[in-house]
Amino acid sequence: MLSPAKPRRINHEDAGWFLVEHACRICSGRLLWRPGPNGGGQARCAECGAKAVGEPRNLCWCGAKTATGKNAGLRCVRNPERTPQNPNEVIVVPVEEADMVVERKGVVTRYVGEPDDE
């Protein structure tokens, strides 16, 4: 007979995270975000554990820069056609594709971050 699992005490560091529609620049895993005092916050990858202070774009592909410091032109969007080969809920696409609203299988996909004017 299996013994019941002991309740796990949640560390304050692990509490209050929200799942956001952004993918980690390091491993393409799903990002978590929690608001902080004075309008700040913290982003963290649910897969590799990478962290960044501020908005999710500080860790996701939407905020990726080229070697010259210009925006890389990539955006995180919800995957309209999840398959066994590509099961991720959030994927990265060029900004030209992200600005279009795509309707497939009743799912509306669109850019989920703030546009970058750079």
Amino acid letter, 47: E
CA distance 93 to 42: 24
Mean pLDDT of 4-20: 68
91 phi and psi, to 5 degrees? -125, 170
What's the chain's length in residues?
A: 118
Q: What is the pLDDT of residues 40-58, one digit of tens each?
A: 799 999 999 999 999 999 9
Q: 67 CB contacts (<8 Å, ≥6 apart)?
A: none
CA distance 87 to 6: 32
Reply yes or no on whether the pLDDT at 84 is more than 70: yes
**Band of the pLDDT at 102, cuts 50, 70, 90?**
very low
Q: Any idea what DSSP says for residue 97?
A: H
**Token pair of 101 as six digits:** 């609203």
CA distance 114 to 38: 20
Of 5 and 79, which is predicted with more confidence?
79
According to DSSP, the β-strands at 74-78 and 51-53 are unpaired
pTM of the entire structure? 0.69
